[in-house]
Every structure is written in structure tokens, then in C-alpha cells.
Amino acid sequence: MTYSQLSKEISYALRHAPQEYGLTLDEQGWVPVEDLIAALKKQVKYSDLTVQDITFMIQTSEKKRHEFAGNRIRALYGHSTEEKIKKDAVQPPDVLYHGTAHKFMQKILGQGLISKDRQYVHLSQDRETAINVGQRRDTDPVILVIDALAAWKDGVKFYHGNETIWLADEVPAKYISRT
């Protein structure tokens, strides 16, 4: 087992397929960590897994993907499960960014940013994060600038993911510009 493998598997379980692990997310996406560990331990590679491994994985991970509080764990963003995770809307920074591929641009400028397979659109707090996100899909990604404050004032809802990631239900095209 590597910690990167563990992070990926926990993301898969808590973002996309809790039922495959016999888990049920609560409204905010939490599950008891002991249930997650018990489910993972059924796989040989995780047979020695401890709660300390999970704590270490979260602490040392480059991206803050998971949160551990009390005896519960959840994914902070990325969900695609049927039941939409409940988050409190909060005022975003004035400007947010979104890194994407050139091939999506025509559609995005027409219909805005939509969440596609996930529950929320993912936005970046800074340009560097947006470049990293966009590079997953394009070696030279397009970095979009979102007039988040104007959108918020017009009633578009934003939610906090982690220190670098913000979420929204959708971002209409009129708040999006190209750099």
C-alpha cells in the first residue's frame, strides 16, 4: 500500500461509490472512519490499515481532499453520488479561476460552467491551482476568470471546498472571461 493509492481509493469510496464499500454518506458526506477502515481491510493490501495511516495520508497529501473530524471522515469535494451533498452557501472571493481544455471552450462560453458528472462545478482560488487542474485535460490549459462577486450578488450560490477549491452549482457564461 502507498499513501497515494490509499488517497485515491478513499476518494473513490467517499466521492463516487460508497455503496461498493457498504458505506452510506450522511447529508454532509461523512462516514464513521471505523466503517471505512473495516471495508478497506477486506482487501489484502489494506489488511494492516490503521486510523494513523489515514491521518498521515491526509496530513501529508499535497491536495487537501479529505477531512477527518472526531470519528468521522469525508471527502471535501468531487462528489458524484446521487444524493447531492449539502453545503452552506458562502460569499466567495471577488475573483475565482477555472482551468480547462481548449476543446470545451465553445460550449462553456455558450452555456457556462456546468457540473457534468460531479455534483458541483469546481473553481480555483488562484491561477496556479487552476493551471494544475486544467493540465489534467490540456497541456496548455485555458484559464477562465470568474467574476464571482458579481455572480454571488446576482444569486449564484458558492460553497467552500478547501483552501484552494470553491464549488458552485453552475456559473452562467456572463460571469466568465478568458485571460
Q: 23-62 mask for ligand HQG (x: CB under 6 A)?
A: ----------------------------------------
d(CA 23, CA 26): 10
Closest approach of ligand HQG to the CB of residue 144, in Å? 8
Nearest to 33 by CA among 42, 23, 43: 23
Q: Which helix (H) or strand (E) holds 133?
A: helix 127-134
8 interacts with ligand HQG by CB under 6 A: no
d(CA 54, CA 145): 35
Among 16, 41, 72, 118, binds ligand HQG (CB under 6 A): 118
Among the listed ranges 27-35, 82-90, 112-120, 150-158, the one in contact with ligand HQG (CB under 6 A) is: 112-120
Cα dihedral 160, 166, 170, 171, rounded to 10, equals 130
Among the listed ranges 46-54, 88-96, 107-115, 145-153, the one in contact with ligand HQG (CB under 6 A) is: 107-115
107 interacts with ligand HQG by CB under 6 A: yes
Q: Which helix (H) or strand (E) holds 5?
A: helix 3-11
Q: Pick the closer one to ligand HQG by CB: 154 or 163.
A: 163
| Other Cβ atoms within 10 Å of 176 Cβ, number | 17
Q: What's the grid cell of residue 174?
A: 456572463
d(CA 84, CA 29): 9
Among the listed ranges 31-39, 82-90, 108-116, 151-159, the one in contact with ligand HQG (CB under 6 A) is: 108-116
133 interacts with ligand HQG by CB under 6 A: yes
Q: Which helix (H) or strand (E) holds 37?
A: helix 33-40
148 interacts with ligand HQG by CB under 6 A: no
Residues that bind ligand HQG (CB under 6 A): 63, 65, 78, 100-101, 104, 107-108, 111, 113-114, 116-118, 122, 133, 137, 165
